[in-house]
Amino acid sequence: MTHVVTGVFRRGGRAVRALGPSTVAVTLALIIGAAGFADAATGGNFLLGKSNTESSTAVMTDTTGIPLSLNAPSGKSPLSVNSTTQVNRLNAQYVGGDSASQLQATGGEGITEGGVGTALTSEYAPVASTGHLAAGTYYVSATALLSTDGAAAYCEITTPTVTNYGGGGGEGSGEFSQAAETVVTTVTAGTVLSEDCYETGTAETVYNAAITAIRISSNSAGTVPTAKRGPIVPYQHKGKPVIGPLGGRPAR
Protein backbone atom coordinates (compact mmCIF):
# COMPACT_ATOMS: atom_id res chain seq x y z
CA MET A 1 0.00 0.00 0.00
CA THR A 2 3.07 2.32 0.02
CA HIS A 3 2.38 3.59 -3.49
CA VAL A 4 -1.08 4.70 -2.35
CA VAL A 5 0.32 6.91 0.38
CA THR A 6 3.07 8.20 -1.98
CA GLY A 7 0.50 9.05 -4.58
CA VAL A 8 -1.54 10.94 -2.05
CA PHE A 9 1.44 13.06 -1.03
CA ARG A 10 2.49 13.69 -4.66
CA ARG A 11 -0.96 14.88 -5.68
CA GLY A 12 -1.43 16.92 -2.53
CA GLY A 13 2.18 18.06 -2.08
CA ARG A 14 1.40 21.75 -2.21
CA ALA A 15 -1.46 21.40 0.30
CA VAL A 16 0.68 19.41 2.74
CA ARG A 17 3.58 21.92 2.55
CA ALA A 18 1.11 24.66 3.38
CA LEU A 19 0.05 22.96 6.63
CA GLY A 20 1.69 23.26 10.03
CA PRO A 21 3.67 20.38 11.63
CA SER A 22 0.90 19.29 14.01
CA THR A 23 -1.70 19.31 11.25
CA VAL A 24 0.58 17.24 9.04
CA ALA A 25 0.93 14.63 11.84
CA VAL A 26 -2.83 14.32 12.27
CA THR A 27 -3.37 14.13 8.51
CA LEU A 28 -0.72 11.42 8.20
CA ALA A 29 -2.33 9.39 11.01
CA LEU A 30 -5.72 9.55 9.32
CA ILE A 31 -4.28 8.51 5.95
CA ILE A 32 -2.31 5.62 7.42
CA GLY A 33 -5.26 4.49 9.53
CA ALA A 34 -7.58 4.54 6.52
CA ALA A 35 -5.05 2.55 4.50
CA GLY A 36 -4.97 -0.19 7.19
CA PHE A 37 -1.41 0.30 8.48
CA ALA A 38 -2.26 0.77 12.17
CA ASP A 39 -4.86 -0.51 14.61
CA ALA A 40 -6.76 1.51 17.18
CA ALA A 41 -4.84 2.18 20.37
CA THR A 42 -5.73 3.85 23.66
CA GLY A 43 -7.47 7.11 22.89
CA GLY A 44 -8.04 6.24 19.23
CA ASN A 45 -10.98 4.88 17.31
CA PHE A 46 -12.15 1.27 17.56
CA LEU A 47 -11.54 -0.35 14.17
CA LEU A 48 -13.92 -3.12 13.13
CA GLY A 49 -12.27 -6.20 11.67
CA LYS A 50 -8.93 -5.30 13.26
CA SER A 51 -7.05 -6.26 16.42
CA ASN A 52 -7.46 -3.27 18.73
CA THR A 53 -5.08 -2.65 21.60
CA GLU A 54 -5.80 -0.84 24.86
CA SER A 55 -3.41 0.04 27.66
CA SER A 56 -6.27 0.99 30.01
CA THR A 57 -9.81 -0.25 30.61
CA ALA A 58 -12.32 0.86 27.98
CA VAL A 59 -15.78 1.65 29.35
CA MET A 60 -18.93 1.63 27.23
CA THR A 61 -22.00 3.39 28.64
CA ASP A 62 -25.51 3.71 27.28
CA THR A 63 -27.84 5.79 29.44
CA THR A 64 -30.93 4.67 27.52
CA GLY A 65 -30.50 0.93 27.00
CA ILE A 66 -28.16 -2.01 26.42
CA PRO A 67 -24.62 -0.68 25.81
CA LEU A 68 -23.46 -3.67 23.75
CA SER A 69 -25.26 -6.25 21.63
CA LEU A 70 -23.40 -9.05 19.84
CA ASN A 71 -24.96 -11.15 17.08
CA ALA A 72 -23.45 -14.37 15.73
CA PRO A 73 -24.56 -17.01 13.21
CA SER A 74 -26.27 -20.13 14.54
CA GLY A 75 -23.76 -22.44 16.19
CA LYS A 76 -21.18 -19.69 16.65
CA SER A 77 -20.29 -18.01 19.92
CA PRO A 78 -20.95 -14.25 19.94
CA LEU A 79 -18.10 -13.69 22.41
CA SER A 80 -14.78 -15.30 23.30
CA VAL A 81 -12.24 -14.68 26.06
CA ASN A 82 -8.65 -15.82 26.62
CA SER A 83 -8.80 -16.46 30.39
CA THR A 84 -10.50 -18.84 32.81
CA THR A 85 -10.53 -16.19 35.56
CA GLN A 86 -14.02 -15.62 36.95
CA VAL A 87 -15.81 -12.47 35.79
CA ASN A 88 -17.45 -10.92 38.84
CA ARG A 89 -21.15 -10.06 38.64
CA LEU A 90 -21.52 -11.61 35.18
CA ASN A 91 -25.01 -13.07 35.08
CA ALA A 92 -25.62 -16.04 32.79
CA GLN A 93 -28.95 -17.49 31.73
CA TYR A 94 -27.47 -20.87 30.81
CA VAL A 95 -24.80 -23.11 32.34
CA GLY A 96 -23.67 -25.91 30.05
CA GLY A 97 -26.86 -25.44 28.07
CA ASP A 98 -29.14 -25.81 31.12
CA SER A 99 -31.24 -22.95 32.46
CA ALA A 100 -31.30 -21.93 36.11
CA SER A 101 -34.67 -23.63 36.60
CA GLN A 102 -33.18 -26.88 35.29
CA LEU A 103 -30.21 -26.70 37.67
CA GLN A 104 -31.78 -25.46 40.89
CA ALA A 105 -32.20 -28.06 43.62
CA THR A 106 -35.93 -28.76 43.77
CA GLY A 107 -37.91 -31.66 45.09
CA GLY A 108 -40.91 -32.72 47.12
CA GLU A 109 -41.74 -34.35 50.40
CA GLY A 110 -44.66 -35.84 52.25
CA ILE A 111 -44.70 -36.56 56.00
CA THR A 112 -47.65 -37.86 57.98
CA GLU A 113 -48.59 -36.34 61.30
CA GLY A 114 -46.66 -37.86 64.18
CA GLY A 115 -48.58 -40.36 66.30
CA VAL A 116 -51.44 -40.64 63.80
CA GLY A 117 -51.76 -44.10 62.29
CA THR A 118 -52.97 -45.10 58.83
CA ALA A 119 -54.74 -48.42 58.61
CA LEU A 120 -53.31 -50.83 56.06
CA THR A 121 -55.19 -53.15 53.74
CA SER A 122 -54.26 -56.25 51.76
CA GLU A 123 -53.48 -54.08 48.72
CA TYR A 124 -50.73 -51.48 48.27
CA ALA A 125 -51.99 -47.96 49.02
CA PRO A 126 -50.12 -44.63 49.33
CA VAL A 127 -49.17 -43.60 52.87
CA ALA A 128 -46.98 -40.57 51.93
CA SER A 129 -46.55 -38.68 48.64
CA THR A 130 -44.15 -36.05 47.27
CA GLY A 131 -46.63 -33.91 45.37
CA HIS A 132 -46.05 -32.98 41.71
CA LEU A 133 -42.36 -32.91 40.77
CA ALA A 134 -40.48 -31.03 38.08
CA ALA A 135 -38.82 -33.14 35.40
CA GLY A 136 -35.39 -34.45 36.37
CA THR A 137 -33.43 -37.13 38.17
CA TYR A 138 -34.16 -37.57 41.88
CA TYR A 139 -32.74 -39.25 44.94
CA VAL A 140 -35.80 -40.63 46.74
CA SER A 141 -35.99 -42.06 50.24
CA ALA A 142 -38.97 -43.16 52.31
CA THR A 143 -39.55 -44.59 55.78
CA ALA A 144 -42.52 -45.87 57.75
CA LEU A 145 -43.04 -47.39 61.20
CA LEU A 146 -45.21 -50.48 60.79
CA SER A 147 -47.37 -51.93 63.54
CA THR A 148 -47.24 -55.52 62.32
CA ASP A 149 -49.34 -57.18 65.03
CA GLY A 150 -47.55 -60.50 64.57
CA ALA A 151 -47.94 -60.63 60.79
CA ALA A 152 -45.87 -58.88 58.14
CA ALA A 153 -46.30 -55.55 56.37
CA TYR A 154 -44.35 -54.13 53.48
CA CYS A 155 -43.79 -50.77 51.80
CA GLU A 156 -42.35 -49.79 48.44
CA ILE A 157 -41.38 -46.90 46.20
CA THR A 158 -42.32 -47.70 42.63
CA THR A 159 -40.74 -45.62 39.87
CA PRO A 160 -40.52 -45.94 36.08
CA THR A 161 -37.16 -47.69 36.44
CA VAL A 162 -37.04 -49.62 39.72
CA THR A 163 -39.07 -50.79 42.71
CA ASN A 164 -37.54 -50.82 46.18
CA TYR A 165 -39.15 -52.67 49.09
CA GLY A 166 -38.91 -52.38 52.86
CA GLY A 167 -40.69 -53.76 55.90
CA GLY A 168 -41.14 -57.05 57.71
CA GLY A 169 -43.02 -58.49 60.66
CA GLY A 170 -42.99 -59.02 64.42
CA GLU A 171 -43.59 -62.03 66.65
CA GLY A 172 -46.73 -60.96 68.40
CA SER A 173 -49.31 -58.30 69.08
CA GLY A 174 -47.96 -54.79 69.45
CA GLU A 175 -44.74 -55.51 67.55
CA PHE A 176 -43.25 -52.90 65.20
CA SER A 177 -40.91 -53.00 62.23
CA GLN A 178 -39.26 -50.20 60.29
CA ALA A 179 -39.63 -49.94 56.53
CA ALA A 180 -36.98 -47.99 54.61
CA GLU A 181 -36.61 -47.62 50.86
CA THR A 182 -34.22 -45.65 48.65
CA VAL A 183 -34.19 -45.28 44.87
CA VAL A 184 -32.78 -43.04 42.15
CA THR A 185 -35.16 -42.29 39.31
CA THR A 186 -35.75 -39.94 36.39
CA VAL A 187 -39.28 -38.59 36.09
CA THR A 188 -41.27 -36.40 33.74
CA ALA A 189 -42.88 -33.12 34.81
CA GLY A 190 -45.89 -33.54 37.08
CA THR A 191 -44.93 -37.01 38.38
CA VAL A 192 -45.99 -37.81 41.95
CA LEU A 193 -43.88 -40.37 43.81
CA SER A 194 -45.37 -42.16 46.80
CA GLU A 195 -44.53 -44.71 49.44
CA ASP A 196 -47.13 -47.49 49.24
CA CYS A 197 -47.70 -50.07 51.98
CA TYR A 198 -49.87 -53.15 52.57
CA GLU A 199 -50.52 -55.74 55.27
CA THR A 200 -50.44 -59.52 55.23
CA GLY A 201 -52.46 -59.88 58.41
CA THR A 202 -55.27 -57.82 59.91
CA ALA A 203 -55.53 -54.56 61.84
CA GLU A 204 -52.03 -53.46 60.87
CA THR A 205 -51.14 -49.76 60.94
CA VAL A 206 -48.41 -47.46 59.63
CA TYR A 207 -47.05 -44.49 61.59
CA ASN A 208 -44.66 -41.64 60.79
CA ALA A 209 -44.59 -42.34 57.07
CA ALA A 210 -42.36 -39.97 55.10
CA ILE A 211 -41.00 -39.68 51.58
CA THR A 212 -38.46 -37.17 50.28
CA ALA A 213 -37.36 -36.61 46.68
CA ILE A 214 -34.41 -34.30 45.98
CA ARG A 215 -33.54 -33.45 42.39
CA ILE A 216 -29.91 -33.76 41.43
CA SER A 217 -28.50 -30.31 40.57
CA SER A 218 -26.63 -31.47 37.52
CA ASN A 219 -27.16 -32.14 33.84
CA SER A 220 -25.83 -35.65 34.43
CA ALA A 221 -27.34 -38.40 36.58
CA GLY A 222 -23.87 -39.63 37.56
CA THR A 223 -23.41 -43.30 38.42
CA VAL A 224 -26.25 -45.41 37.11
CA PRO A 225 -27.82 -47.40 39.98
CA THR A 226 -27.57 -51.18 39.69
CA ALA A 227 -29.52 -53.88 41.48
CA LYS A 228 -27.82 -57.09 42.56
CA ARG A 229 -30.06 -60.13 42.55
CA GLY A 230 -30.18 -61.99 45.81
CA PRO A 231 -32.56 -63.24 48.51
CA ILE A 232 -34.37 -60.70 50.66
CA VAL A 233 -35.80 -62.83 53.43
CA PRO A 234 -38.48 -61.01 55.42
CA TYR A 235 -39.46 -62.13 58.88
CA GLN A 236 -41.55 -65.29 58.86
CA HIS A 237 -43.05 -67.55 61.47
CA LYS A 238 -41.56 -71.01 61.66
CA GLY A 239 -43.28 -73.38 59.30
CA LYS A 240 -45.14 -70.66 57.41
CA PRO A 241 -44.39 -69.64 53.82
CA VAL A 242 -42.58 -66.42 53.05
CA ILE A 243 -45.10 -63.63 52.48
CA GLY A 244 -44.13 -60.40 50.79
CA PRO A 245 -42.10 -59.32 47.75
CA LEU A 246 -40.69 -62.84 47.26
CA GLY A 247 -43.95 -64.62 47.89
CA GLY A 248 -46.03 -62.80 45.36
CA ARG A 249 -47.13 -59.20 45.14
CA PRO A 250 -50.79 -58.49 45.92
CA ALA A 251 -52.87 -56.76 43.31
CA ARG A 252 -53.33 -53.02 43.56
Query: What is the pLDDT confidence band of residue 47, given thresholds at 50, 70 and 90?
Result: confident
What is the reported pLDDT for 174?
Answer: 67
Q: What tens digit of pLDDT does each residue of 121-180 get? A: 888 999 999 989 988 888 999 999 988 877 888 999 988 777 888 887 766 666 888 899
Select from 65, 55, 246, 236 the least CA-distant residue to 163.
246
CB 157 within 8 A of CB 163: yes
Record the pTM: 0.53
What is the reported pLDDT for 129?
Answer: 92
What is the topology classification, in CATH, of domain 106-215?
Jelly Rolls (2.60.120)
Residue 7 above 50 pLDDT? Answer: no
What is the reported pLDDT for 196?
Answer: 93
Residue 54 above 50 pLDDT? Answer: yes
Q: What tens digit of pLDDT does each residue of 76-107 get? A: 989 898 998 988 988 888 877 777 766 666 78
Sketch the domain layout of the chain as residue ranges.
Answer: 1-45, 106-215
